[in-house]
Structure 1
Amino acid sequence: MDDDNNCSCTQGATTSEALFSFGVIADIQYADREDGYDFCGLNRRYYKHSLCHLQSAIEDWNRTDVQFVLQFGDIIDGCNAELKMSETALGRVLEEFKKLKAPVHHIWGNHEFYNFSRDYLVDSALNTKYLQEQTFLSNSYRDQSSTGDDASEFYYAYQFCPMSKFRFVILDAYDISILGRDTSTKKYQDSLKLLREKNQNENLNSPSGLVERQFVQFNGGFSQEQLDWLDEVLTYADKNQERVVIMGHIPIHPNSTSDVALAWNYKDALSVIHSHHSVVCFLAGHLHFGGYCLDSYGVHHVTLDGIIETPPESHAFGTIHVYHDRMVLEGRGRILDRVMHYKGYQTFHR
């Protein structure tokens, strides 16, 4: 995390002054089980209490009157599959989201695919693609419609506009992945081939000895088709002088996360983003202790702290207020306040 660029001052950042506001929350990973630890046995995980944190966040957002909420994936923990409680656990979390006055956009993470197949998710309440903005649908987006012969081959990505001149883009960071896909599909076979080329460990979740440590099974990447679609969206946004916020479950900048919590082909995603002037921010989850950097192209990269590793006495959610010249993250608990100026407005309050 880059503390030099952190700003704990949200000067004048009231909802009434903002153009609009939205909520952010990541890695809830609810399960009806006692507290445990991560795979390394180091960080405590509060499976049951994550639902209480979500309830507090929803109460706060309803008071703030946010326009929408972004849920960054890993909504329930993978242990639910072992307990045969996946649908029950998901149902409990979704019941809480029903209390939210604003719509929620769901992003898919690795724990979604530990619990469900991609085909299941397409037909579930976690598919919020119906909230997409209909005015602009690129040619490559139309080509990847889920009405094709094999819906599991398509990526889950869409864009929406909460108001004129502001566009939000949700990316599918597991478009290239062996998680959640039928083993007979081409994407599964291509993903497995790539993963084994980069990772010769018996345990594909282990980064031991890897040169590119992001090539582990719990990460994924973006197909060329999805990157082409993103390029079309950003070209449209450039032409129409829009501000664009991009989000996905996995971070794409090495200075905003650890080297084992990056998208496989993060450099390809950055290359597309940096070829356009409209992108102001990339939001992600996945790394439970969070991170931040401002890259050399003026794009803010915010990785949100995870609910699952947040003690009961704290919080881990936020509200982002959007202005003409900046976005202001108003954090709760472990998530820090931050002022993020758009390109051309690089004066930070320290």
Structure 2
Amino acid sequence: MPSAPLFRFGVIADPQYADLEPNLTLNRYPANSLVKLREAIEEFNRRDLAFVVTLGDIIDREWKSFDAILPVYETLRHRKHFLLGNHDFVVAPEHLLSVPARVGMLSAYYDFGLSGYRFIALDGNEISVFAPPEGDPRRQEARELMKALENAGAPNGQRWNAAMGRAQYDWLAVKLEEAKASGEKVIVMSHYPVFPDNAHNALDSDRILALLAEHDHVVAYLNGHNHAGNFGVSGGTYFVNFMGMVDTIDSTAYAIVSVYPDRLEITGFGRETDRTLPLR
């Protein structure tokens, strides 16, 4: 096996910080995430990483929560990428449209290239009952999607899930083709899982899964949202659901992914799982 990776990157899912009492029912300790995040960043700063990505739910709720957690991220010496999750929109209505800019995102979805890889970061929140402003037709569209899933007996027609809009879906399809044409492998990142079947999957998970299945250069899909974590393989693509940092009083969860020519090596910290994923 090759001894040196092409590059490594750090992964954080669902720190979900807020100055709140613990949710004992769900075993979530949002106030403790500042300490856990500091520890993760100290570990990341000791490593040679290309970047660190947070897969959404930076905060649990309240606009002021960003003021406490974002300065912790400023101590990171590596490039940082954010994705947004449902909890990032549990803010006052006047702030809904400003959430991407608050965390320094020029766009809520984007892509970047690195050493023969194309990373595609999705905004899974576009069609939802929480991210669009009140009265926006996308809220009604989300309700209709949820109802259709419920009627079909699917587990994921939940108010905490969401879907991509048509323009972003078309953009994703174009980016996948561009990567194929340039000989790049693809890693897709989103807050929401799409596989295996789960109550936390995106409202449009079937559509996304079908699109990815058309492309054998998509090696992995990385997400958070389901704090318990999950894993599956479909159409030769690995679907890795990272565990939520916010869960438990003092154990953490984060990871470092090492990308080799023939495999991905995931090193888990705290509750997160170690995995070796051979590439086709």
Contact 1:222–1:269 (CA under 8 A) maintained in structure 2: no
Q: Counterpart of 2:111?
A: 159
Q: Counterpart of 1:145?
A: none
1:108 aligns with 2:84: yes
Contact 1:285–1:304 (CA under 8 A) maintained in structure 2: yes
> What does the per-residue CA deviation read over 1:114-164, in whole Å, with 9 as the maximum and x for residues that have no partner?
1264411133225254xxxxxxxxxxxxxxxxxxxxxxxxxx31100123x
CA separation in 2, counterparts of 1:220 and 1:29?
A: 18
CA separation in 2, counterparts of 1:194 and 1:294?
A: 25
Q: Counterpart of 1:329?
A: 266
**1:292–1:335: structure 2 CA closer, same or farther, 3 Å change rule?**
same
> What does the per-residue CA deviation read over 1:240-287, in whole Å, with 9 as the maximum and x for residues that have no partner?
1111000100100025xxx21111111100111111121000000011
Of 210, 228, 236, which aligns to 1:271?
Answer: 210
5+ unaligned residues in a row in structure 1: which ranges? 1-10, 130-155, 201-209, 344-350
Q: Counterpart of 1:238?
A: 180
Of 170, 175, 184, which aligns to 1:228?
Answer: 170
Please identify, of 173-182 and 300-309, the stretch whose mean Cα deviation from structure 2 is larger: 173-182
**1:30–1:98: structure 2 CA closer, same or farther, 3 Å change rule?**
same
Q: Which runs of 4+ in 1 moved over 4 A?
A: 196-200
TM-score w.r.t. structure 2 length? 0.93
Q: Letter of the 1:285 partner, please give it.
A: G
Larger Cα Rg: Structure 1 or Structure 2? 1
> What does the per-residue CA deviation read over 1:198-227, in whole Å, with 9 as the maximum and x for residues that have no partner?
458xxxxxxxxx712211110001223222
Q: Letter of the 1:302 partner, please give it.
A: V
CA separation in 2, counterparts of 1:95 and 1:243?
A: 33
Map residues 44-193 of structure 1 onto 2, 5 A cutoff. 44-78=27-61, 81=62, 86-87=63-64, 89-115=65-91, 117-127=95-105, 129=107, 156-163=108-115, 165-193=116-144
**1:198–1:254: structure 2 CA closer, same or farther, 3 Å change rule?**
same
Q: CA deviation at 1:197?
A: 4.7
Aligned Cα root-mean-square deviation (Å): 1.9
**1:198–1:331: structure 2 CA closer, same or farther, 3 Å change rule?**
closer
1:21 aligns with 2:8: yes
Of 211, 215, 232, which aligns to 1:293?
Answer: 232
5+ unaligned residues in a row in structure 2: which ranges? none
SS of aligned partner of 1:45? coil
**1:198–1:321: structure 2 CA closer, same or farther, 3 Å change rule?**
closer
Q: CA deviation at 1:289?
A: 1.1
Q: Letter of the 2:20 partner, please give it.
A: R
User: How many residues are aligned here?
Assistant: 278
Q: CA deviation at 1:331?
A: 0.7
CA separation in 2, counterparts of 1:115 and 1:278?
A: 38
Q: Letter of the 2:110 partner, please give it.
A: Y
Q: CA deviation at 1:191?
A: 2.4
Point out the structure with the larger strand share.
2
Q: CA deviation at 1:293?
A: 1.3
1:307 aligns with 2:245: yes
Contact 1:227–1:272 (CA under 8 A) maintained in structure 2: no
CA separation in 1, counterparts of 2:165 and 2:131?
A: 16
Percentage of pairs with the same residue: 31
TM-score w.r.t. structure 1 length? 0.75
Q: Letter of the 1:93 partner, please give it.
A: I
